[in-house]
Every structure is written in C-alpha cells, then in structure tokens.
Structure 1
C-alpha cells in the first residue's frame, strides 16, 4: 500500500466513524475517552493497593513508559488534529488542533490493559481488552484523532506494558531509587514544561539569543535583538540550539536541557551520598533536592544556572573523592568540570569550586591532630603552605592546563571577532562591575541568608539546625567539606554588591546531603516543625487570599488554594510525626504540581507578547512584496517581544521621534502614552488589556499626513 492510499484509507475510516454519531453515544464515548487519561491511574493504584500490590509498579511504569514514548513521538511528528484540517467534523468536548500522532489516551489504555490482563481470568482479560479498544474508538468518535494515531498509540501502549512486565523484577529491586531519583524529579521538572510562556526576563533573552545564533548559523558570537550580548558565555546557548534543532523553536526546546540536567544533578547527589554515607541518606537527599522551591523553578527555566550547578556539583564531588581516596581520575574530572563551568557562567565557575576545594584542604590541615601543638599564626601559615603545595603538584598543574584548554579558547576567539567588545562587556561590566556595584536586586548582606532560606523552602525550616549540627561535626571530613561549600557561597555573595536569589542554587546539593543526614540521625522537635508548617500553610492561605483578591482577582481568583497542601501536611505531621519528611515532600510535590499544572497554564492567556506577535504576523503576510523586518515600541516593552515577534525591535523613548517613523511601520505602545500626541497619525490594529501593568496595550500602523 502506497503512502497516498494509506492516507486516503485513514481519512475514510475517520469520516466513517466520526460521522455516525448520536447524542446518547456522545455522552457514552465522552466518558469512555477519560479511561485513557492520566488521571485513571490514581483509582487503579488505589484498588490494586487493596487487592494486588504486586501489580502497582508495573502499572505505574507502563504508564510512564507509554507517556514518555508518546510525548517524544508527538514532538518529532507534529501532525495536526482533525479539527485543524476539517471545518465540519463532529467534536465532543475540547477542540484540539495540534499533536495528533500518536494517541496518548490509546497508548495509556493499552499499556494498562496489558499489565492488568496478566493472569488466568479470561473474562477479565476480555473486559480490559474491550475497554482499551473502546478508548481508541472514542478518540476518533469525539474528533480528537485519526485511526492511524489510534493504531500506533495502541502499539506503543502494548509494548510499554510488555516492557514493564518483563523488567518487573528490576523495577521491584530498585523501586525506591526509581521513584525518588527518577520519577519524582521527572514529574516536577518535565510536567507541562511548555505551558508557561517566557515571562521571566532572563529566559526570554537567553532563548532569543540562542535563536538568533541558530538563524545566523554563528555559534560563537551571541546576540540579542541583533546586538552583541555580553551577559553570558555560550555553553547554554549551544544546548538551547540543539533543542531547537530537535524540537523546533518554541518554549519547550531551551527548557528541556535544564530539566534533563536537573535529573542528572539529583542522580549525582544520590550516587555521591551512597558512596560516602549510605543508601538511606542518599534516598533522603535525592528527595530533598528536587522538592525545594528554587530547584523546581530553575530546572524548568531556559537559563544557564542549571548547567553551572551541574558542573560545580560534579567538580566538588569529584574533588572530595579524589582527595579522600587519592584517586587522580576524580581530580581530572574536577578540572574538566571547572573548565565547563567557566564556559557556562564565567569566572564564578572557577572561583567558587576552587575556593571550596582550597578552604577544605586548608581547614582540614588546621584540624589535623599532628598540628595540635602549633597554635595561632604559625598554625595558619603552616596550613596555608601545605594547601598550596597540594595544588602545585604536577597532577593539579596538568588539571589547570586542561581546564584552561576547555574554557579559554572561546573567550579569545569571541573577543577577537568582536574587537574586544565582548571581553570588556563580560569581564569588566557583568563580572567585576556586578561584584563591586549593585546592578539589580536588594542591597545589604543579610538578604543572602534570606535568599538561601527562601530557595530551599520547605526544607529551610531545618536549615539553621542543620548548619549548627554540621559545624559540630567539622572534624569529620565530609561534614567539613559540605559545611564549607555552603558557607563560602554565603560569604562570597554577601560581599558581592549585586545579590540575586538564584546565585545560591549551587549550594543546594550540599545542603540536601547535610539535611538528609540530620533527618537520618533523628530530627529533634518534630512536633514543633510540624506546627510551623501548619502555621505556614494557614498563613499562606490568608496571605494569598488577600493578595489574590487585590492584585490577581481577574487572573487567579482561587490563588489561596496553593496553601492547602502545607496546611493539611502540617496537621497530618502533628499526629504522625514519624513521617514528617515524607509528608513535607508529598505536600511540596502537590504544591508544585498545582503551580505547573494549573496556575502557570492559566496565566498564558494573559501573556501579551504572544498576542501581539500573532497580530504582527498577520500584518507581515498582508504586506506582500514589502516584508516587515522592523517593529517599533514606544514606552512599552517586554523582553519576550524579540522571541515571539522574531523581528528587530527598535525602542523609542522620546515622543519627538514618533513623527519620523516611516509610513506603514508597526508600533507597540499603550493607550495612555499615545493619547494627546499631535502631528502623529496612526490606525489601531489591535487592543488588549495588560492586567499586570493595568494598561491598554495597542498595536498601531503609522499613517502619512
């Protein structure tokens, strides 16, 4: 059968099924189609917990495998839905237009059918098969899929069920690791990763810079709005470009790398902790890291910070293992990681990891019993000399050379290509300048500990006790190393004039291990901690009710619901404080899923740049032989304009410049800014309310006299 014959048969079968409809069947198949939704796994797991616990893991993993396979296929084969191709089809429920191939509902249904039907009960097998096939049929009936989508989705689901059953023993042996190290972080980092537009300034600029590099096929010189961008080195841009090549230019592509690297960091923490402590502490630490606030946010964003955290963590873990075990291979990994960290975010990628390494060697020497008879300044000098000697051995000198060979060439090349402009902007302005002068963020050293506590929420309820506890154990090399890792970052950024919350994310792997060890040793005052969490949950509900009603009533009227997981979790922990760690983790996961699955997607419809980009695209298509390459903005600007509009944006600050704009040019501004201007004629093309800035945003076309 040729491709044309297959397509023709696919369309004929769709029309045959979809056209034979009835109001009663609409209701029946609308309900049946939900048997293939992700929510169906919840009641199945609850029932299996009561009657057949052995099938819980295969059910969960068949669902995960099929879901992952379907999403990958949807991204690579972006097939439109029937509603996008035909106007007069029968649709029941939501009208879907994109990502038709293959059917995720059918894949889920067949995956679950395969696992649940394993047994000798023929009637039960028949029932599950009928239900699975009914789900596939319903997806065509409701107008959501073509028959070919159903066929391939069914094959994917069946194979997923087969794999989960075949490797059930492996899943059972490593179920805790798979759940804690892979499943929870994967859900938190990947779930609806593309649901939120580029609201954050850094995300928009980083994503656009990578897009422009790809469009120019210039992978050395970063630009933003066709102007040199000296903010960051290139490593994250290169990963974003890879995402664009694989998944297309969209919000998902530059974020996927951050999510993947987040998973890798959780795995690193687990493997390191298993090696230096034990499996139980490793599992706890791996559960803490992805469930703190900034991990959830940063590992879902198109920013360089996840890559800095990964290379810094890999470097420091490797250094510790290399020193303690006298293993040169780890020292090499330390320097390779530092080189890549410098390519990720500049000098800080060297200064902080190397600073932690040096201070660890220094204080380890200070605490060595053989030096107990030497006190004061001589002891300091002796320890400093011994520390320097460690790093002046040929092994470390070779390591320095390797790190330099990785990091330096790009800086040299880009500086030559830009006539020294990049070197000046990056090193003098964005590094030395930011350290000596406050560019953004609050001023004052006390904000840095607050940022640490905020970012490590909810585990920051225990951070002060954890740091005191680890300081008491400073004679133990691991505790000293992790304690210095945290403290050195706090000191460095307290001294720095520019202070931002994300600067402290590299300490969270160390803090997760310290907190996990604290929990493992027996957390004191569990009821007090549970009471604090309950009070926090109640306070959050009250605060979000007030703020939501005052500032975001039009956007998110039920904002206060976000506090419920912590209120209920805290109350539960008061009575069952043995499970306080698990309860806090569960409450946090629910809170984060509410954010990513409900709050963030809801806010997209109020995102102005996408709407403006659509209007400008329509005007570009109407312009005919004279394409619109430039768009102007007057006293209204969003850094995401460049990414979504994909044209050069020229910002106009003075009203006297407006009459000089060419006839037919497109201008973005607000109603208040344009009202009352004389000698300036325009035709309004689009008007939308910016609910956050409380302004009417206009897109206008300049007209002649």
Structure 2
C-alpha cells in the first residue's frame, strides 16, 4: 500500500516499493556501494590474489604484453585478460589494492546491473528486485568481486554469453546480433580463464538442444555461423598464438596439461575433497538465496513451458556443479559462475508468489543472520579463528536485522522478514569490508614487517615465501640460491620457519629479526638479516 504525501511524492509502506520509478536508481546505487566498499582498505595478501596482482605489476613495469611473470619467472596459471584490466587500474590509480581490484569490483557491479535489468525486461520489476537481492546478499559473491583474480571476469562474461544466447533462441534464431555478442563474450571468457569457459557453455547449450522439442540438427545449424566463429577467433586466438610462439609452446603445454587437465584429474595444492564438497561450497556461498532454490527447481519441473532462460540457467548451474564435483581439485571460486543464474531462478520463483510462500526462506535467512554475527564472539570461535578477536561491536547490527525479521515472522509478515534477512547479510558483508578485513590485515606479517624491509636493503627469498612481499615491495625478489647474487651484510632474507635449518646448512650467517604467522595459512614467515658479508653460498 502506497500513500501519497505532500508535493505528490510517494512514500511506501508496503512491499511494492520496487514498482516505483525511483527504485532502480536506489537499488543500483546500493549495488555500486557494496561492490566497491573497502576495495582499497586492506592489503593484497591472499596467495592467489598476490600472485595475480604482482604478475600484472611486472607486465606493466616491464612493458610486457604477452608473457605473464611472477617474480621474474613465467606464470602459466591463467590467460592474460585480467592482467590487462589490472594494468589499466595501475595506470589510473597506481600500483596498489585499489588499482588491482577496481575492475574486479566493476565486473561484479556490471553483472549485477545486467541481471537486474534483464530480469526486469524478461519477467517483472518484482523478479528483478528479488534476483538482484539474492545476488547482493551472497557473502561469497561480494567477496569474490573484492579480489584481484581472473574469476570476476570469467563469471561476468559467462553470464553475458548465456543471456545473449537466450536472446538469440527467443528471437526464433532470427536476430544474429545476439549470436555474435554470445561469440564475443565467450571469447572474452576464454581469455579470462581458458578452455573451461568453452566446456561449461558448450555442455549447457548441448543439453538444451537435447531437451528442446526441435531436432538437434536444427539447433546446430542455427549456431554454426561463420561470422560468429570469426568474431570468436579474432578475439580469443591471437594471444594464444603469440604466447605459443614466444615460449615455443611451453606456456600452452603447461597451462593445458598442468593447470587444466591435472587440476581436473587430481587434487592440486591440497585442494581436494569428496564429491559433496562442491555442493557445500554452492550452498554456503549462495546463502541466504539457497533457501529458495529447491522450491524454484520444483517450480521449473511443474511448469509446462518454463522460460528459456530459466531452463538454461538451471542447466548451466547443474553442469557447472557436476563438472566440479568430479574434478580432483575443488575450490569455492570454481562454482561461483552459477550465482547470477541461481539469482535468476530465485527472482523468477518469487514472481507472483504469495507472501505465505516466503515463510521457510525467511525463517532460514533471519535465523542465520541472527546467529552468525553473535557466534563470532563466542570464546571457542575466537580460539579456532584468532583473526576475529578484534571484531567491533558493529557486528551486532546484522543480528538486529535478523531479530526484527523473526518478530515479523511471528506476525506472519514473511515477505518483509525475507527482505530484512537479506539486508542483514548485506550489512554483514559490508562490515567485513569496512571493519573486519582492514583490522585483520594489520596482523599479516607482510604489513607488520614493512618497516624492516621498506628501506634500501636488498631483499632475497629462500625456498618458500609469502608472494605478497613481491606486490608490496613493488619489485622482484631474487632467490638467495641464485649464483648471480651474493648477500651482503644488512641484506634481508624472507623464508618460512620450516626452511630455517636448510638455510643454515647453506652457510649463511644471519639472525632472525622477524617472525609472524601467515593469516589463514599454516606457514610462519621469518625474516633474517645477514650480519656478515658472504662471498659465496654452499650449493
């Protein structure tokens, strides 16, 4: 129920505020705010983020546009698209966390905006609101787009690929423009993270062809298009050709066989787990929206003719989840591309849904957001996760949202309680970026030891070291075992406590000047100062 106040403006007191003309502007502003909140407030520290940000930094410093390197050595992990975005960020903002993360945050915001307006056009304003709300309230979604890694670009371009394909299908295959844009976005997804983009999208489209009433041959004829193929090749292939020529095929061999096939066939870097682990990643990562997914899937199967995008969204989600269930290496970010598609399902499910159907999802969301922030202050949690010891009492605010939502549930105002639960999760994530992560960041050993190595002393590393040192110092850190270098008195050596005995065996006279536990890792960073000039090192 909407009431009019003086001046003809509108004041909402019911649940149809998303129908108002001003609402998209407010909602988009909220999306912009939470996607960019705090991206500059804490260090580039997490291992993958540090290596990716540093690789882009080195390409920028060396004016190298083909071969990615980390600490002077070729980096075979990923194609270059995210590096190029980071380089643009460095040009605009400097070599710092803001420069590294800006375009990741922008990719997430763009994906959110497109999801909202696409749902608005295909379904309704109500559907658009609930789809966008499901995405913004996912803690993992916002965390993913606060990292300088390739996944934000893969996620966004895969989403754009599939909705372009849906537009092509829904035009009865008449509007070739959508096929061409699908080819364009698939090429960019391939440049983001490699052949996994082709595999996931190819399997999704194939299963859609199988399920559709029209013959597979008809579908194949519609997608086999020379111009679309040419667009894909012009965008995706040149860099792969150049890197193959420059490295004589070594980069492509390492990337395909080691970082793709080996990751799929076996657990790498300790990231293994049972088949159900992938489901757990998705279920936890998409809280609270996951509460509506099972009812949404039931609605799909009950529908005589579900919308094309809903079928495609469900197929893509199933394909992606199953693919990484059977993969040997399992990480939460692998299945993050399903989040915008699950959000589409949530938005579609809530379209024309009676308020009583919000009961179960709202209880789930409000209970969780009431309990989780409070649980962080329990002594046991503080013992297991010492990083949370300095959380401020602002983290009680999300619990207030949950508490208010539970009161509304008692009053049978389930739709409003769902909204409060989701807002509580958005508030919780915002506090992570604004308060928790910056405070936790001050405890990382790279930050704490900065005053020791920020001077002109030469930095070396021995065997293993935290890669964040490379980005923070904005320079290559050579190995102490490299025969081209001989440490001098005052030089610093970064290593881990596990390698101290081996360092001693090398005959280097050095004293420990710093020791700090790496956050969220099992290692301990140690910094040694050489106190006597060494002309040679025993090999």
TM-score by length of 1: 0.67
CA deviation after TM superposition for structure 1 residue 607, in Å: 1.9
Match of 1:550 among 383, 387, 391: 383
Aligned to 2:441: 604
2:493 alignment partner, one of 647, 667, 677: 667
2:65 is paired with a residue whose SS is: coil
Is the counterpart of residue 428 in structure 1 residue 257 in structure 2? yes
Equivalent of 2:142, from 291, 296, 301?
296
Preserved contact between residue 195 and residue 604 of structure 1 (Cα < 8 Å): no
Give the aligned partner of residue 70 of structure 1.
Answer: none
Aligned to 1:204: 50
CA separation of 1:680/1:555 partners in 2, compared to 1, >3 Å: closer, same or farther? farther
CA 1:667–1:349 in structure 2 vs 1: closer, same or farther (change >3 Å)?
same
Q: Residues 52 and 542 (structure 1 numbering): CA distance in 2 closer, same or farther, change over 3 Å? A: farther
- How far apart are residue 547 of structure 1 and its match? 4.1
Larger radius of gyration: 1
What SS is found at the alignment partner of 2:51? helix
Q: In structure 2, do the counterparts of structure 1 residues 196 and 241 end up closer, same or farther at CA, with 3 Å as the change threshold?
A: same
Superposition pairs of residues 179-578 of structure 1, within 5 angstroms: 179-180=26-27, 182-325=28-171, 326-365=174-213, 383-392=215-224, 396-439=225-268, 440-473=270-303, 475-478=305-308, 479-522=310-353, 525-537=357-369, 539-540=371-372, 541-542=374-375, 545-553=378-386, 556-558=389-391, 561=395, 564-565=399-400, 567-575=402-410, 576-578=413-415
8 Å contact kept, 1:527–1:573: no
Q: Report the Cα distance in structure 2 between the residues aligned to 1:499 and 1:698, rounded to whole angstroms.
A: 32
TM superposition shift of 1:218: 0.7
Q: Is 1:590 the equivalent of 2:427? A: yes
Name structure 1 gaps, 5 residues minimum.
1-48, 58-171, 369-382, 621-627
Equivalent in the alignment of 1:116: none
Aligned to 1:176: 23
Deviation for aligned residue 1:328: 0.9
Q: What is the CA–CA distance in structure 2 between the aligned matches of 1:409 and 1:578, rounded to whole Å?
A: 51
Looking at structure 1, the residues matched to 379 and 312 of structure 2 have their Cα atoms a distance apart, in angstroms, of 44
Q: How many residue pairs end up in the alignment?
A: 509
Pairing 1:580–2:426 present: no
- The aligned residue for residue 158 of structure 1 is none
- Gapped regions of structure 2 (runs ≥ 5): 13-18, 535-539
CA deviations 1:600-655 (Å, max 9, x no partner) are 111121121134344222143xxxxxxx3x512365x21211111233335579xx
Which has more helix, going by share of residues? 1
CA distance in 1, matches of 2:94, 2:5: 45
- Report the secondary structure of 1:668's partner residue: strand
2:462/2:480 contact within 8 Å kept: yes
Distance apart, 1:680 and its partner CA = 4.5
CA gap 1:53/1:695 in 2 versus in 1, 3 angstroms? farther
Query: CA contact under 8 A between 1:565 and 1:590: conserved in structure 2?
Result: no
Deviation of 1:704 (Å): 3.9
Alpha-carbon distance in 2 for matches of 1:690, 1:495: 34
Is residue 367–residue 406 contact of structure 2 (8 Å, CA) maintained in 1?
no
Higher relative contact order structure (alpha carbons within 8 Å, sequence separation ≥ 6):
2
Give the 5 Å matches for 1:613-692: 613-620=450-457, 628=458, 630-633=459-462, 637-650=465-478, 662-664=487-489, 665-669=491-495, 674=500, 677=504, 680-684=508-512, 686-690=513-517, 692=519
TM-score between the two structures when normalised by the length of structure 2: 0.86
TM-align CA RMSD: 3.1
Q: CA deviation at 1:322?
A: 0.9
Q: Provide the rounded CA distance (Å) in 2 between the counterparts of 1:461 and 1:677.
A: 55
Distance 1:565-1:445 versus aligned 2 partners, 3 A rule: farther
- The CA distance in 2 between the partners of 1:226 and 1:56, in whole Å, is 60
CA contact (8 A) 2:179 2:223 kept: no
1:569 deviates by 4.8
Tell me if the contact between 2:362 and 2:415 (Cα under 8 Å) persists in the aligned partners.
no
Please tell me whether the aligned partners of residues 281 and 332 of structure 2 are also in contact (alpha carbons under 8 angstroms): yes
CA distance in 2, matches of 1:652, 1:566: 54
The match for 2:537 is none
Query: C-alpha distance in 1, partners of 2:8/2:148?
Result: 40
Q: Deviations over 1:550-597 (max 9, x none)?
A: 144575244784662564254244233231332122111211121111
Aligned ranges 1:97-176 → 2 under 5 Å: 174-176=21-23
Comparing 327-336 with 426-435, greater Cα deviation is found at 426-435
- Structure 2 CA distance for aligned equivalents of residues 596 and 579 of structure 1: 26
- TM-aligned CA deviation for residue 689 of structure 1: 3.9
Distance of 1:307 and 1:273 partners within structure 2? 21
- Once the two structures are TM-superposed, the CA of residue 472 in structure 1 deviates from its matched residue by 2.6
Pair 415,695 (structure 1): closer, same or farther in 2 beyond 3 Å: closer
The whole-number CA distance in structure 1 between the counterparts of 2:247 and 2:100 is 25
Indicate how the Cα distance of structure 1 residues 669 and 319 shifts in structure 2: closer, same or farther if over 3 A, else same. closer
Local SS of the residue matching 1:662: coil
